A and B are shown apart, each in its own frame.
Chain A
Amino acid sequence: MAGIVTFAEQRDGKLRRASLEAVSEARRLADALGTTVGAVLIGSGVEGLADELAAHGADEVYVFDDAALSRYATEVWARAMAQVVGDAKPKAVLVPFTAMGKDLAPRLAAKVGAGLLSDVVGLAVKDGRLEARRPMYAGKAYATVRWEGDPQMATLRANVFALGARDAARKAEVVKGTVDTAARARATAIHATAEGKLELTEAQVIVSGGRGLKGPEHFHLVEELGGAFGAAVGASRAVVDAGWVDHQMQVGQTGKTVSPTLYVACGISGAIQHLAGMSTSKYIVAINKDADAPIFKVANYGIVGDVFEILPKLTAQAKAYFAAKG
């Protein structure tokens, strides 16, 4: 019976990176607590993914594999997870803070009576209990939070918790389960909107553009720089609200929260609501013609300059750099 249970989100038969991050973190915590890790896999034809979860630290993989589980449905997934939590009585339950995790975790928490903390960016073991750290007020404060009672449940911000070393020799016990697949709400159609595009919340490198680009006709400069870096492309609220790009690309408080290794802000002034969505990035580069722009207060590297001059040069030199590097 696993001491820490994680939800292993998969989409189209592929495990999300955030799922592996959750398993990796569960492994670290379980080692500190002297307990085991269980991962829950729900879908159609997904049993084969159990090996990957084992390689990242799962001792047990609970598999719900059924043709009727090909599309995510909140009630069914919550029911399956609640079954596992009810049987295993874990100390903790970790779920990625993705669109699916955001939708699932509260319903599950209410079902099993767990205290739930959202968008957690740090976990530690203190006196045999967990202690979480999470940003509040647009990242202007960080809360340290503890739970009363078990299970201690958290959703984890993507790209913050390190992936553990992959050990293909590790094996997990597979526990198969069945679940009632009835649901009152379910997806009837799914349209891919980002064919071939990198997902912002999962990207290791993000290049974002703001009002400094002056108009939608110049946004290609940001996309080309993104292409040179193999990066996902984001945008500030100002340019989303102005209709230059889709809301899906917005980074910030009313958009996506991202935490890449490298974030390049081009012509973005750095309003607090933008910083809320990207200030946990590991390295931030700011390119802006206004030396007083607040973005320079959070950046590691700053270039005061004209994006129309800097971006094409940076794109060209980056292409040459990556080509030489192979």
Chain B
Amino acid sequence: MKIIVCVKQVPDTEARIRIAPEGNAIVESDVNWIVSPYDEFAVEEALRIREAKGGEVVLVGLGPERGQAALRSGLAMGADSAVHLKDPLFDAADTAGIARALATAIRALAPFDLVFTGQQGVGGDNSQIPGLLAEMLDLPQVTMAVKVELEEGKALVNREVEGAHEVWETSLPAVVSAQKGLNEPRYASLKGIMAAKKKPIDVKDAAALGLQAADLAPRTKVVALELPPPRPPIRMIEGDADTQVKELLRLLHEEAKVI
């Protein structure tokens, strides 16, 4: 089994966000970077499959120099090798450009059996890469997986949707995106962290992928990034419990008009 896992480095969810002077990006120096939590589910699942069936796990990540830390984290968990896509051309790419670069790199790793991604990259929360990749690679997709079972030439994938639990069957290779609930990711051991330092990371730029600026031209552009509008001031409801409850219902009815 050869399993590809896409790994993205994202701002820590607790990070304080400041807007950069250009007004369309955040100040990155403030940010503590982590592996997107959904990608950790993806790496863990790939490792479990390799442990059960043998094979190799190859990580693919796109991002600037700092992004290599996310790939090292995945290698420390146990992945075998990694490909780091790094080029100033990628920095301005939108989701379509990023997916194109990832798809090109993944195609070069064929033959493979599975491509795992996180369901979404925390921060941007677009949930686009799995579907974009699957279409670009002409592979079937099953998103929001909470359970993956492999059989001969196919996978059974459980996914959660509004009010239902679905079981999908897909031929392989396929793109599967990891949802929370798929597994409990392991922590890297000290041995794993030491071993990761010696594992190969293949760095590729756009030219190495055969991509030019036109292939990565963004179809969407952030023109402004702002802090959220302030919420109206809170109204604290005082008094004993009976008074508070009565007053809350009155406000919801008369002021907010929501009941």
B165 an interface residue at 8 Å Cβ cutoff?
yes
Q: Which 7 A-B pairs have the closest CB atoms?
A: A115-B219, A106-B131, A185-B170, A185-B140, A110-B135, A184-B140, A99-B161
- Chain B contact surface mostly: mixed
A202 an interface residue at 8 Å Cβ cutoff?
yes
Instruction: Give min CB distance, B127 to chain A, whole Å.
Output: 5
Q: Which residues of B contact A107 (CB under 8 A)?
A: 131-132, 134-135, 141
Q: Which residues of B contact A143 (CB under 8 A)?
A: 24, 222, 224-225
Q: Does A303 contact B234, Cβ atoms closer than 8 Å?
A: no
Instruction: Give min CB distance, B153 to chain A, whole Å.
Output: 11
- Chain A contact surface mostly: mixed
**Pick from A102, A197, A262, A300: contact of B231, CB under 8 Å:** A300
Smallest CB-CB separation from B181: which chain A residue? A247
Q: Which residues of A contact B218 (CB under 8 A)?
A: 115, 148
- Which B residues are closer than 8 A to A by beta carbons? 11, 13-17, 19, 24, 26, 37-38, 94-96, 99, 122-132, 134-136, 139-144, 146, 156, 159-171, 174, 180-181, 217-229, 231-232, 234-237, 241-242, 244-246, 248-249, 251-253, 256, 258-259
Given known pairs A98-B162, A247-B181, A262-B259, the reply for A141 and B125 (CB within 8 Å) is no
Interchain CA distance A256-B91 in the complex, whole Å: 29
A178 an interface residue at 8 Å Cβ cutoff?
no
Q: Which residues of A contact B226 (CB under 8 A)?
A: 141-142, 144
Q: Does A193 contact B164, Cβ atoms closer than 8 Å?
A: yes
**Chain A interfacial residues counted at CB < 8 A:** 92
Given known pairs A118-B125, A138-B13, A145-B221, the reply for A305 and B249 (CB within 8 Å) is no
Q: Does A194 contact B132, Cβ atoms closer than 8 Å?
A: no
Q: How many A-B pairs fall under 8 Å by CB?
A: 262
Interchain CA distance A99-B177 in the complex, whole Å: 13
Instruction: Give min CB distance, A291 to chain B, whole Å.
Output: 8
A164 an interface residue at 8 Å Cβ cutoff?
no
Q: Does A189 contact B128, Cβ atoms closer than 8 Å?
A: no
Most buried by A among B14, B128, B235: B128
Most buried by A among B95, B125, B256: B125
Q: Does B181 contact A109, Cβ atoms closer than 8 Å?
A: no
Q: Does A145 contact B223, Cβ atoms closer than 8 Å?
A: yes
Given known pairs A254-B37, A255-B180, the reply for A310 and B220 (CB within 8 Å) is no
Q: Which residues of A contact B164 (CB under 8 A)?
A: 190-194
Given known pairs A107-B131, A253-B13, the reply for A188 and B234 (CB within 8 Å) is no
Q: Does B163 contact A193, Cβ atoms closer than 8 Å?
A: yes
A317 an interface residue at 8 Å Cβ cutoff?
yes
